[in-house]
């Protein structure tokens, strides 16, 4: 269905060169441009994974709290990932539709010729505190939540637009198109400037209840609506692979490209979390807890994100711990000069050390606020803390404290979702962090709910491919290629849950106590920067 509730129609297309022979085994391509890498997945007509390829890349931190990437990095990684798939014998002519997804909120600014004007300011960037305050003051806190479903947060896209207008005026004056990550990939592939409801929800410019641009908010902020892309639903066909896109990627010109979605919403599609009761938890760079809804919530107070789902007539609540897997990556990099192993093996080494500690980490509590925090504390000034270290603290305790601190953050988020009326029967997990049994058990013990681990390829890229299949009628339902009844549920361990109760209570007390300290330190840093 499209945004007006009608049945999706495949638009008429101009005549373009296409493969003349019928495709015996159609494939669906899903592409996920994440923070640390891009994944491309091929699914068959039964929803089974045929192949996948991943290309890694870095992001830049030119100043504390800043996060940037060159959008060309995503496009080149996309081309490289497809080249890997084609080199393994997969036939690009068999791809009958493409779905796109990627990190949310990250702003791409293009000129009238489609050229990138500045680095993309990423979802994790925290530079826009003043712009968030400006948006709240101009719109009004209650009106903003009423119209967009959300409060102004540093990671969202609208504050980034205002920041660029204020600090890089020469860029803003030349801007002709404002996109987010996946929609830049779509543009390079199709020449179309299009977004869809789930990703647009995170721009803070969408009327999430009505699934349309919030014209009054856009006008009050002085943003030209002509800069914003056309909106569709995630399963709508948005256009076709252009001749140039085909030449760059090996795909067939004329191949349909669907709306796709933000990475969290498409991950939920890939995990079968479309109806209420089935939650998802993704531990990548960030940690995202996601609860589907079959109607817009009756009470919206800004404590949780309220976004459109990637499918029509569905919404969701979501909560984000900015540095979840990012905390483990930071800890690994910190220890790197001392470790006997490197790369991904270092994660296993750290987790093994954590297993030698006990629940409660020997009294050490970790606050995972390395780049500020999103949920439940919308505070860009928050910083990471280890509390409770003493002469008996060892590396095992500190390693376990990192795992527990991220789990404690997820528990706070789950409590908020239950308070908002979300049903929680089971959590389906994906992301590198949850591949480790110890961290899964800590999550289950802390959250008090069973967790199912998704198999390989059951993430955002898969969800994008499923949406592609829905868009061209290869799939009749998003629940394809999954047999969740056969996947064991890792439930809470009563003794572990009991041991974590007191550390969790302490965790919840630390942020309110430290909040004024964080604010004072940020004020000092701001004055020092202004004096330079």
Tell me which residues are annotated as active site: 263
Q: Cα–Cα distance between 269 and 310 in angstroms, integer?
A: 8
Is it true that the peptide bond before 410 is cis, omega within 30 degrees of 0?
Answer: no
3-state secondary structure string, 408-423?
HHHHHHHHHHHHCCCC
Which residues in 205-336 belong to E strands, given as ranges? 206-207, 212-213, 230-232, 237-240, 256-258, 261-262, 277-283, 287-293, 305-308, 315-321
| Sign for the pseudo-dihedral over CA of 483, 486, 487, 490 | positive
CA-only gyration radius of the chain, Å? 22
Q: Say if CB 25 and CB 92 are below 8 A apart.
A: no
**Rounded distance between C-alpha atoms, residue 363 and residue 150, angstroms:** 36
| CA 431 from centroid of its chain's CA atoms | 11
Closest CA to 352 of 396, 394, 404: 396
Q: What distance, in Å, lies between the first and last C-alpha atoms of the chain?
A: 54
- Residues paired with residue 68 on neighbouring β-strands, in sequence order: 60, 121
The enclosing H or E element of 460 equals helix 460-471
Closest CA to 278 of 240, 246, 316: 316
- SS3 breakdown of the chain: % helix, strand, coil, rounded to 5? 40, 20, 40
**Taking Cα atoms as reference points, which of 7, 22, 182 lies closest to residue 91?**
22
C-alpha span between 409 and 322 (Å, rounded): 10
Query: Of 279, 99, 306, which is closest to residue 189 (Cα–Cα)?
Result: 99
Q: How many CB atoms lie within 10 A of CB 62?
A: 8
């Amino acid at each position: 269905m499209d945004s007006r509730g009608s049945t999706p129609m495949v638009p008429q297309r101009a005549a373009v060169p296409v493969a003349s022979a019928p495709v015996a085994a159609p494939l669906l391509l899903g592409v996920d441009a994440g923070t640390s890498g891009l994944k491309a997945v091929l699914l068959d007509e039964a929803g089974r994974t045929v192949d996948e390829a991943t290309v890694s890349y870095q992001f830049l931190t030119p100043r504390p709290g800043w996060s940037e990437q060159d959008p060309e990095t995503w496009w080149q990684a996309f081309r490289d990932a497809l080249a890997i798939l084609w080199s393994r014998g997969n036939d690009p002519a068999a791809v009958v539709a493409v779905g796109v997804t990627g990190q949310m909120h990250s702003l791409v600014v293009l000129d009238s010729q489609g050229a990138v004007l500045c680095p993309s300011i990423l979802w994790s960037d925290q530079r826009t505190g003043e712009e968030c305050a400006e948006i709240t003051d101009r719109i009004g806190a209650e009106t903003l939540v009423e119209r967009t479903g959300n409060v102004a947060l540093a990671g969202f896209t609208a504050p980034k637009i205002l920041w660029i207008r204020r600090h890089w005026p020469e860029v803003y004056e030349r801007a002709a198109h404002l996109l987010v990550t996946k929609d830049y990939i779509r543009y390079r592939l199709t020449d179309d400037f299009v977004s869809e409801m789930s990703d647009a929800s995170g721009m803070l410019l969408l009327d999430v209840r009505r699934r349309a641009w919030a014209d009054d908010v856009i006008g009050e902020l002085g943003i030209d609506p002509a800069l914003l892309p056309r909106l569709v639903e995630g399963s709508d066909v948005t256009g076709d692979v252009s001749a140039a896109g085909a030449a760059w990627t090996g795909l067939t010109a004329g191949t349909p490209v669907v709306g796709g979605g933000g990475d969290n919403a498409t991950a939920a599609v890939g995990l079968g979390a479309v109806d209420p009761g089935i939650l998802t938890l993704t531990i990548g760079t960030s940690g995202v807890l996601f609860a589907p809804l079959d109607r817009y919530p009756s009470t919206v107070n800004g404590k949780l994100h309220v976004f459109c789902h990637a499918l029509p007539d569905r919404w969701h609540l979501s909560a984000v711990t900015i540095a979840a897997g990012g905390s483990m990556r930071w800890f690994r990099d910190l220890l790197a000069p001392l470790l006997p192993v490197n790369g991904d093996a270092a994660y296993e080494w750290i987790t093994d050390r954590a297993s030698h500690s006990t629940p409660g980490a020997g009294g050490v509590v970790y606050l995972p606020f390395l780049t500020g925090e999103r949920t439940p504390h919308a505070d860009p000034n928050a910083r990471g803390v280890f509390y409770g270290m003493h002469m008996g603290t060892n590396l095992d305790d500190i390693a376990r404290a990192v795992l527990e601190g991220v789990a404690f953050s997820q528990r706070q988020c789950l409590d908020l979702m239950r308070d908002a009326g979300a049903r929680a029967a089971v959590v389906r997990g994906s992301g590198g962090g949850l591949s480790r049994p110890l961290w899964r058990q800590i999550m289950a013990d802390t959250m008090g709910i069973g967790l199912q681990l998704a198999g390989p390829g059951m993430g955002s890229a898969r969800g994008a491919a499923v949406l592609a299949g829905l868009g061209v009628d290869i799939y009749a339902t998003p629940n394809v290629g999954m047999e969740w009844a056969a996947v064991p549920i890792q439930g809470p361990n009563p003794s572990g849950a009991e041991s974590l109760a007191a550390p969790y209570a302490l965790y919840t007390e630390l942020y309110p106590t430290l909040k004024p300290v964080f604010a004072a330190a940020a004020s000092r840093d701001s004055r020092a920067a202004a004096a330079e």
